[in-house]
């Protein structure tokens, strides 16, 4: 009798662990060093982002910062994001995602700049606002795949 209960407990634990979702988190920002000036970094990053359909929201060549966004319905950002819900689910059908990319350049020493390229995703569900779902927007349902960050780094001459 004890063996049967132990077997059931082990099976239940296996099922729970097997059904648990994998950790879903965004990749770390891309960090690199470059001999390019802040202005050159901003120019190249801006060019790369606009060619990928992003709108530059802010850009400061003196500070070395740039922020760009791209908002799309449903699967429109899936070339750059992953979402933690099933394909064709109610969440996906009502998804409006905004991918925000930030590029920050600092000058730690003469002749070199450090560049950090990161991204975040805001998922909104405007079609579900009056539904009983727990939230109408989330910063954790979708994450960047890291592709746009690597694309910008490559344009800046960084090789992984």
Tens of pLDDT, residues 60-101: 988 999 999 999 998 888 899 999 988 888 888 888 999 999
Q: What is the pLDDT of residue 134?
A: 62
- Evaluate whether residue 10 is within a structural domain: no
The CATH number of the domain holding residue 114 is: 3.30.310.80
Instruction: Using the Cα atoms of residue 91, residue 77, residue 72 and residue 88 in order, give the sign of their dihedral.
Output: negative
Q: Count the domains in the chain.
A: 1
Establish if 17 belongs to a structural domain. Answer: no
Q: Is residue 160 part of a domain?
A: no
Least confident of 42-46, 80-84, 107-111: 107-111
Task: Give the pLDDT confidence of 126-138 residue by residue, as tens digits.
Answer: 877 777 666 688 8
Domain that residue 60 falls in = 24-155
Asked if the structure places residue 31 within a domain, the reply is yes
Instruction: Confirm if 115 and 105 have CB atoms less than 8 A apart.
Output: yes
- Average pLDDT score over the chain: 82
């Amino acid at each position: 009798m004890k063996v049967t209960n132990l077997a059931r407990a082990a099976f239940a634990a296996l099922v729970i662990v097997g059904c648990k979702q994998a950790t879903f988190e965004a990749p770390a920002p891309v960090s690199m060093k470059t001999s390019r000036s802040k202005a050159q970094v901003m120019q190249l990053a801006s060019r790369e982002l606009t060619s990928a359909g992003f709108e530059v929201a802010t850009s400061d060549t003196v500070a070395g910062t740039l922020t760009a966004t791209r908002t799309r319905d449903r699967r429109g950002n899936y070339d750059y994001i992953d979402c933690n819900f099933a394909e064709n689910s109610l969440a996906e059908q009502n998804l409006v995602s905004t991918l925000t990319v930030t590029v920050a350049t600092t000058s730690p020493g003469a002749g070199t700049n450090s560049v950090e390229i990161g991204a975040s995703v805001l998922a909104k569900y405007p079609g579900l606002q009056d539904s009983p779902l727990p939230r109408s927007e989330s910063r954790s349902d979708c994450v960047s795949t890291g592709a746009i960050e690597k694309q910008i780094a490559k344009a800046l001459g960084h090789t992984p």
